Amino acid sequence: MPLADIHCHLLPGLDDGSRDWDTTEAMLRRARDNGITRIIATPHADPAVKAFPLDRYKETLDKANALSLKLELGITLYPGCEIMYAEGVTERMLEDARIPSLAGSRHVLVEFFPDVKYDAILSAIRRLAYVGRIAVLAHIERFECLYKRFERITELKAAGAKLQVNCGTIIKPPGFFAKRYIDKLLGDGLIDYLATDAHSDGMRRVNAKEAYDAIAERFPGSERLFDAKGIL
């Protein structure tokens, strides 16, 4: 089944992801071997700290698509970024098209520090919804305020949020209780997307197929977590 990856740092020179074009090529080849046909390239954006280099981003994305075409990998890359949420600033930058949403959709990939307060996440979701955006919370397994707080997760979903978990967490959960937590989220259908959050071709590599294989039998229908529904 063709897979989509909505969170991947494979464009060189834009953040702490791919360090050069050789790494980008290796990541694209690994993505092809994982059955991935669509990738949203999501470098970090921190609009409260510095301007997002939109023109350079677009040029780099075009070059990556040209590379994929030249290598006949069958992968299309789409615009996006992983936004460190900043109240008011994020909404304004999105409205002014100074930071890209996910593939031009209403969805935006947002991150917070692991020790973020729950009320801050809920407020961000509501503020984004007010301006017509759907928050996709990046790697929600990192947030201390949500760990085993399923009533909070349900409230976030009711407020319009979509939840993304990293493939690496599925493949190798950080402990027995973390695995039970993730398994319950999967079993209750609370996770919307699995994504690689790949930064290199080494330790933080493209690993979608490993994650898919790890849950396919235990959670029927889990292929939906890789279809980027509503985004692509």
- In a domain, residue 83? The reply is yes
User: CA-to-CA distance for 97 and 58, rounded, in angstroms?
Assistant: 13
CATH number, domain with residue 138: 3.20.20.140
- In a domain, residue 95? The reply is yes
User: CA-to-CA distance for 133 and 136, rounded, in angstroms?
Assistant: 9
- Domain containing residue 64: 3-226
- In a domain, residue 28? The reply is yes
Look at strands 134-137 and 82-84 and give their pairing. Answer: unpaired
Query: Residue 185 contacts by C-beta under 8 Å, 6 or more apart in sequence?
Result: 153, 163, 165, 191
- In a domain, residue 232? The reply is no
Task: Quote the pLDDT of residue 133.
Answer: 98
User: CA-to-CA distance for 217 and 231, rounded, in angstroms?
Assistant: 26
Task: Quote the pLDDT of residue 115.
Answer: 97
User: CA-to-CA distance for 141 and 174, rounded, in angstroms?
Assistant: 10
| Consecutive 10-residue averages of pLDDT for the chain (232 residues) | 95 97 98 98 96 97 98 98 97 96 98 98 98 98 96 97 97 91 95 98 94 92 94 97
- In a domain, residue 231? The reply is no
Task: Quote the pLDDT of residue 1.
Answer: 76
Total domain count for the chain? 1
40 in helix, strand or coil? strand
CB atoms within 10 A of CB 132: 10
DSSP at 68: H
DSSP β-bridge partners for residue 111 = 84
Task: Quote the pLDDT of residue 214.
Answer: 94
**Tokens standing for 210?**
């490993």
Please, is 22 exposed, middle or buried when counting C-beta atoms within 10 Å of its C-beta (0-12, 13-18, 19+)? exposed
Task: Quote the pLDDT of residue 212.
Answer: 95
